[in-house]
Chain A
Amino acid sequence: MSQVLEQKTVEETKVFKQSQLSLKKYLSKFGTLLALFLLFVFFSLSSEKFLTVDNLMNIVNQASINALLSLGMLLAILTAGIDLSVGSMLALSSMLMAVVTVNIGMHPILGIITSLGVGGLFGLVNGLLLTKLHLPHPFISTMGTQFIGRGLALIVTGAAPIAGLPLLIQFFGTAEIGPIPFSFLLVLVVYIFMHIFLSNTKTGRHIYAVGGNKEAARLSGINVDRVLITVYTISGLMAGLAGIIMSGRVNSAFPLAGLQYETDAIAAVIIGGASFFGGVGTVWGTAIGVMIIAVLRNGLNLLNMSADLQMAVIGAVIIGAVYVDVLRQRKRKKNKN
């Protein structure tokens, strides 16, 4: 009898404690969502063209490439690593796809397989370099492959673009279902799969474990090398897919594609709440980070702000977002005791 009573009071205190903490936790957890919402409000008030269906669809379309690269980057950052080669992988995979479909004239499906294949293969190489050569940090291995990839992309045609891609590939970049771009739906599907992958599969959890504490993960029987190789391969696949969408959108593949795109990807992931130290971060957080950057760029374009000033603004936002994350970490450590 007394046990039942005890049980009830325990439950009550549980509920009480949770709702008490929720307001503070709310702000720190949903801070970025709030920031995105505020940006929306600001730009809607500053430009009458912002909050139109056409423009919103433009935003998600423009964001689709970074959205995919950021997803791969999220995985790398979750393992306390980084992938600086995403832009080069995008260029190389789309260039080879163009060669296969335009220069050699093969079926567009082969082109799509090529882009994904080249991206995945490149990512695999990143993973192998990191794990088999025991390079100290993926910063080094992916910086190396960043240059190698860019060089290879330039060599393919001697720096010239290839235009006139098959309709199927153009579809990826330009098709619309009603007002909604196909690229947005594709990205949405990929995000949903990635969310399920990270939260509900064994490998997904292993990724968090490796990032949270590599040694503890290893001693719990997790094959750390295999996890890292998987992460970088997926990043490569994302870059390959992004390459398809990009070249589809502008109907050409060019060797300088994706130049410095890793910066926007890293920014999106960090704004979205992932930690450089690994083990912390979510797919939907990254989505918000991607949206914040896309909305910023679009909104500032609509205000006709010069591109140079835009760069400065975006840089300031990145610093601000990371600072909020620092405060969050500090709060977390203070509450430790």
Chain B
Amino acid sequence: MTVNSADLLEIRGIKKSFDTNVVLKGIDLSVKTGEVHVLLGENGAGKSTLIKILTGVYPKDDGEIIWNGNPVELNNPQDAIHLGISTIYQELNNIQQLKVYENIFLGREVNKRRILSYINKKFMRNEAVRCLNELGQNGNELVNMEVGKLGMGQQQLVEIAKAIALDAKLIIMDEPTSSLSGKEVEQLYKVIDLLKQRNVAIIFITHKLEEIKRIGDRVTILRDGYMIKTLPVKTTEPDDWIELMVGRSLSEKYPKQKFKYGNEGFRVENIMVEGATEPVSFSIHYGEIVGIAGLVGAGRTELVRAIFGADPKSKGKIYIDGKEITIKSPKDAINAGIALITEDRKNEGLLLDQPLDFNITMASLRNYINKKFRLLNSKIIKKDAENYINELQVKTDSVDLHARFLSGGNQQKVVIAKWLCTNAKVFMFDEPTRGIDVGAKVEVYRLMNELVEAGNIVLMISSELPEILGMCDRVLVMNEGKITANIPIEEATQENIMKAATGV
């Protein structure tokens, strides 16, 4: 391969293994100055590992990294930073209690000359303001604020400003829009445009295909540790990318199926969540998937948590098949056959340091007790877990693997398996496909279909409008703790959902 003089970064033949697990099998990639280069691939394709090699966190086993035409070795994160590579991770790295300028200069606090260890605040503030202004922000307004008090979008901008202060030439962004509101996402796109004008290159990792179309220049697709192809974004389509990503053609992104509309299976009447101003009521029939759309902070998660008994509710009645159920704790909900698949699987759904069979049977242990000795039947536990692993096609060698070692999509499947194991009838999904790849998403959708077909109730909270429009039969919209719209799918559009979500 000839070296293109406009190439800022070139990677050749990068290989990496962990014990016997070969994660990267020879990656070739190039990034031009000032381009937004998207990295696309299923979970487990090797994106995170590649990034960690580029930022000096992991050493590579083989291959070359060429920066501005010179081969370099990245032995630790400092090497990468000195070169001019900065990373914005999904879980932000700010110190919440410190001010914006303190975060921007974290670890590199500047001392006034001649005065020992007296920090030169004025200099740092001015620098911070300059960097923030370059990103189109009002630097003076932000510079002294406590980072913890800023919104997610602004916190992310602080991190980008930090990268500017470090004179970054390449900024790697790992799924930066997954926790941002619509406005914040637009703001980020504008900032990216500004960065491009400054000739800063960006490696952008995302699962959102529309996003790639919006800001990407080129997209490189990884699959199973191989680099498949690098394509120009303008002249290619998401379907092409998906095909290369998944290795098979996906005829349906959203495998919607129509089922027979049945009786009412689940009803919630006048639930008052703590801090809400009005009670909420809705019902779900057999045969339909109901979605709840809305902005971040609309109160959707609070609603389902209150239904589930995880948070207290001040009043409200819950009916399954017309019979009223008293729910005062998650245990009551589970006994009644309700399942809550939470939005944060790592912190609320899984025990990362326990094996898969433990995780899968965690909520239904009482079904595995040997009557004679009151002891758990570990053989049956293992067998059931293996059945679920196979049924849901979780990528693992055995059920003894600790949950920590699975990719995001597979972890989500384990959480779903946990709830299937409780023989639930009412499934409440909260952002079920967040942070998982296209292939796994389809599997989750198919699962929802199977659940409905088998006579279960399915409710889905989602902030991805395409997902709502693609999979639901009816859309509830929430805004500030109230249901503001109940739209059958034939009449639902992005516009009327957004209108109800923003209260306009």
Band of interface residues on A: 20 to 34
Contact residues in B for A219 (Cβ distance below 8 Å): 308, 310, 330, 340, 342, 348-349
Contact residues in A for B335 (Cβ distance below 8 Å): 221
Contact residues in A for B20 (Cβ distance below 8 Å): 17, 20-21
Residue of B at shortest CB range from A223? B331
Cα(A217)–Cα(B351), bound, Å: 8
Q: Contact at A279–B365, with CB atoms within 8 Å? A: no
* Most chain A C-beta atoms within 10 Å of own C-beta, residue among B19, B48, B58: B19
Q: Contact at B376–A336, with CB atoms within 8 Å? A: no
Q: Which one of B65-73, B75-83, B397-405 contacts A?
A: B397-405
Among A200, A213, A216, A217, the residue within 8 A (CB) of B375 is: A200
Q: Is A2 at the interface (CB under 8 A from chain B)?
A: no
Contact residues in B for A334 (Cβ distance below 8 Å): 18
Q: Is A135 at the interface (CB under 8 A from chain B)?
A: no
Q: Contact at B330–A218, with CB atoms within 8 Å? A: yes
Q: Contact at A216–B340, with CB atoms within 8 Å? A: no
Residue of B at shortest CB range from A215? B348
Cα(A304)–Cα(B496), bound, Å: 85
Contact residues in B for A200 (Cβ distance below 8 Å): 375-376, 378
Cα(A218)–Cα(B48), bound, Å: 31
Q: Contact at A218–B351, with CB atoms within 8 Å? A: no
Q: Contact at B18–A208, with CB atoms within 8 Å? A: no
Q: Contact at A14–B376, with CB atoms within 8 Å? A: no
Contact residues in B for A17 (Cβ distance below 8 Å): 20, 397
Within 8 A of A (CB), among B1-54: 18-20, 23, 48-49, 52
* Most chain B C-beta atoms within 10 Å of own C-beta, residue among A20, A222, A332: A222
Counted as pairs of residues, one from A and one from B, with CB atoms less than 8 Å apart, the total is: 95
Q: Contact at A14–B18, with CB atoms within 8 Å? A: no
Cα(A39)–Cα(B398), bound, Å: 37
Among B308, B374, B405, B418, the residue within 8 A (CB) of A336 is: B405
| Shortest distance from the beta carbon of B86 to any chain A beta carbon, whole Å | 20
Band of interface residues on B: 35 or more
Within 8 A of B (CB), among A83-135: none
Q: Contact at A337–B351, with CB atoms within 8 Å? A: no
Q: Is B369 at the interface (CB under 8 A from chain A)?
A: yes
Residue of B at shortest CB range from A220? B363
Contact residues in B for A217 (Cβ distance below 8 Å): 351, 362
Interface 0/1 of A189-232, CB less than 8 Å to B? 00000001000111001101100110111111111000000000
| Shortest distance from the beta carbon of B343 to any chain A beta carbon, whole Å | 12
Q: Is A280 at the interface (CB under 8 A from chain B)?
A: yes
Among A216, A279, A280, A335, the residue within 8 A (CB) of B349 is: A216
| Shortest distance from the beta carbon of A265 to any chain B beta carbon, whole Å | 23
Q: Which one of B171-179, B224-232, B352-360, B431-439 contacts A?
A: B352-360
7 interchain residue pairs of minimum CB distance:
A220-B363, A212-B351, A221-B334, A221-B331, A202-B365, A200-B375, A221-B330
Residues on B lying within 8 angstroms of A by beta carbon are 18-20, 23, 48-49, 52, 58, 308, 310, 329-331, 333-335, 340, 342, 347-354, 358, 362-363, 365-366, 369, 374-376, 378, 397-398, 404-405, 418, 422
A-B contact pairs, 7 of them (CB 8 A): A209-B351, A213-B348, A215-B347, A219-B349, A221-B330, A332-B404, A337-B23
Q: Please give 17 more A-B residue pairs, beta carbons under 8 A apart, in addition to A14-B398, A202-B365, A221-B333.
A: A21-B19, A200-B376, A200-B378, A205-B358, A205-B365, A205-B376, A209-B362, A215-B347, A216-B351, A216-B362, A217-B362, A219-B310, A219-B349, A220-B418, A222-B362, A332-B404, A337-B58
